[in-house]
Amino acid sequence: MYRIPKDKTIYAMSKMAAPVLEVEDSSTVVFETCDCFADQIQSEDVVFSQLDWERINPATGPVFVKGAEPGDILQVKIVDIKLADHGVMVTGPGLGSMGEIFTENEIKIIPIRDGQAVFDKDLCLPVKPMIGVIGTAPADEPVPCGTPGSHGGNMDCKKIGPGATLYLPVNVPGALFALGDLHAVMGDGEVAVCGVEISGEVTVELNVIKGKKLPLPLLVDNQHVMTISSHVDLDTAAEECTKNMAELLVNEIGMTKHQAVKLMSLAGDLRVCQIVDPLRTARFEFPLWLVGKFGYKFKLGS
pLDDT for 202: 98
50, 58, 279 from 53: Cα distances, Å: 9, 11, 18
Q: What is the pLDDT of residue 222?
A: 95
* Arithmetic mean of pLDDT, 189-206: 97
Instruction: Quote the pLDDT of residue 301.
Output: 52
Q: What is the mean pLDDT of residues 63-74?
A: 98
Segment 223-262, tens digit of pLDDT: 999 999 999 999 999 999 999 999 999 999 999 999 999 9
